[in-house]
Structure 1
Amino acid sequence: MGRPLQTYDDIAIAELAFYVFALGGGIFLCVKHGFTKNAGFRSLVLLSLARIIGASFRLATISSPDNIDLYIGWMTLNGIGLAPLIGLAIGLLSRVFESIQQRKGSVIIRPQYQRFVELLMLLAIILLIVGGTQSNFTITDGKPKVDYSTISHAAEGILIAIAGLLALAIVIAILNHKYVGVGEHRIIFTVAVCFPFILVRLIYSCLLIYGGITSTAWLYLGLSSLMEMIVTLFSEVLGFSLDKKGPQPVPRNDEEGQAFSSK
């Protein structure tokens, strides 16, 4: 026997509608800027898929309110959302650092460090999935209460560290903004504007996992769902306004000397 609609269900309907369009936009941006380019838009696709599948799980509980697996899937995917959100911002900034390197002539952040952060992000996502399946879920009248596992605590710690690296990267980008290519300053601006929303989303996760706070539908909406939607919307608007990144070769030292002597 089914159950009546609840506030969580209304939020799931809104998320489903929003992220269907966001997924289409994210796929288009991946095609536009290149799937292999580290522009962060792959994280946008991942976030959209997590939200669409998670909302579908939640809505499926209307007809199967006693199916605990549906609630576990929904809550686990909710927890995953923060990782691609941070990955999206870091991926966008990677284009800024490439632009700075081409014009300044020195490496700001080495590619090895970027790959290390990407591996940390992947590890956090895997731990969130494993930790979510091992956490203790209690559902009362369609409202979840979770006792998070030690693995979830470890995953959240990794995300906190990566968020700190993101804050540092924003500061470095701002300090070197004069070397950024024409039209790409908006990347720094957008990521800087989005960071407070990402921070609120991070604090919400910490309250749940470390603080043992039992969330409500309105807390989830205000501190999680809306934060993710705002960052997603800003990022897609940015992606559509950016030109496709083309090769920008850096002149060799001998070429620079010849150009100087010819003046």
Structure 2
Amino acid sequence: MTIDQRGGIAIAEIVLYFPILILSIFLVVRHGATRKAGWIFFAILSIVRITGGITHVLWEQNPTNTSLQTIFSIMESAGLSPLLMATLAFLSIVGQYTLENHPAMSTRTFRLLHLLGTVAIVLAIIGGTNISSAKSQSDLNTAATLRHAGSLLFLAFFALIAALTAFCWLQRDQILKYRRKLLLAILASLPFLLVRILYSVLSAFAPLPFAFDSAEHMVPVVSNSPLKQFSSTSGSWAIYLVMSVLAEYAVVLIYTFAGVRLPLKQDLADYQKAGMHMRTMSEEALTEHAGARPYDSAYAQPYSQPYSQPYSR
């Protein structure tokens, strides 16, 4: 069995993402399986990466199998979406109980951003699938356009997530203790996410290694474009390793470490205690403002008989 550098990277991803899959299942059980919790996206990412790695290795053993090539190409495009969706979910957790009434952190804002991410991944998958199944140059051009649009939407999605992160950082004094630490994890992951996004965009705009002639026969194409190094199938394996695989895995490690270490549920207990304390202080302030002593049973006197002493000057 002959494996090239890309195949070796695929095997490494299979090995690396199996423990992440197990750990993400633990985090889903610990924090919840809802989309808002965010951890479910790491289970999805792990499955995507393991599936992509397996199909890539199988394709190297049978390069004429276009179905395998289509599957691992789709998996390559689909892996970015869970990372961004998880980051968006974590931002909503950061603002829980404190910032969620602000328009920038409202449910509507997160729904619109989630819709943007969904459109981006749909375009990227359709574009990648259609490139593999193209029968003419027109089909190829249309598929490439869809792929370009998907990558640019991912870039816009990341920019909006970064803007929300900056907003939360400016309001960090209002954020609950452990959610502030989750915000730090998001901040630490953003540079790696940016590198991963840039690779995705450059890869989408990289020249394809084939085209169709006037008779609609597929022909190989040799390009001198500097972007050819970023091709997800025929580009530099070293660039792919650093900008895609390692950058992505760094984000995964940062988030999973935060998920294991941070007792986010403790924030709710602290918030409820703080709320009860504030209510007590407010009640005392109101009674003092009204000129009355807060009720204390030690000062209560039972009612026995009417006051009958005559008024005297």
Task: State the TM bucket, normalised to the shorter chain.
Answer: 0.7 to 0.9
Q: Distance in 1 between matches of 2:31 and 2:177?
A: 17
Unaligned runs of 5+ residues in structure 1 are 139-145
Opposite residue 132 of structure 1, the aligned amino acid is: G
Unaligned runs of 5+ residues in structure 2 are 135-139, 208-226, 229-234, 289-313
Please give the secondary structure, in 2, of the residue aligned with 1:152.
helix
Q: Distance in 1 between matches of 2:104 and 2:20?
A: 32
Q: Distance in 2 between matches of 1:221 and 1:106?
A: 40
- 1:204-223 to structure 2, matched below 5 A, reads 204-212=199-207, 213-214=227-228, 215-223=235-243
The higher radius of gyration belongs to 2
Q: CA deviation at 1:168?
A: 0.3
Give the RMSD, CA atoms, in angstroms.
2.6
Q: 2:82 corresponds to which residue?
A: 84
1:118 matched to 2:114? The reply is yes
Question: Alignment partner for residue 163 of structure 1, among 154, 158, 162?
Answer: 158
Q: Deviations over 1:220-262 (max 9, x none)?
A: 1011000111100111000001214347559599877325336
1:178 matched to 2:203? The reply is no
CA contact (8 A) 2:128 2:147 kept: yes
Q: 1:193 corresponds to which residue?
A: 188
Residues 259, 201 of structure 1: CA spacing in aligned structure 2 closer, same or farther, 3 A cutoff?
farther
Residues 107, 136 of structure 1: CA spacing in aligned structure 2 closer, same or farther, 3 A cutoff?
closer
Opposite residue 66 of structure 2, the aligned amino acid is: I
Q: 1:63 corresponds to which residue?
A: 61
- 1:1-263 to structure 2, matched below 5 A, reads 4-36=2-34, 38-101=36-99, 108-136=104-132, 149-212=144-207, 213-214=227-228, 215-245=235-265, 246=268, 248=271, 257-261=282-286
160-169 vs 28-37, which moves further: 28-37
Q: Distance in 1 between matches of 2:56 and 2:284?
A: 64
Q: Distance in 2 between matches of 1:24 and 1:13?
A: 18
190-199 vs 70-79, which moves further: 70-79
Q: CA deviation at 1:194?
A: 0.7
158-167 vs 63-72, which moves further: 63-72
Q: Distance in 1 between matches of 2:113 and 2:284?
A: 39
Q: Deviations over 1:105-156 (max 9, x none)?
A: 7555111110111122222222222111111589xxxxxxx98522112211
Percent identity (aligned): 26
Q: Deviations over 1:42-96 (max 9, x none)?
A: 2212211110110010111243222122122112211112211111211111111
Higher relative contact order (CA 8 A, sep 6+): 1
Number of paired residues?
A: 252
Q: Distance in 2 between matches of 1:7 and 1:211?
A: 20
Q: Deviations over 1:195-215 (max 9, x none)?
A: 011101111111111243232
Opposite residue 239 of structure 2, the aligned amino acid is: L
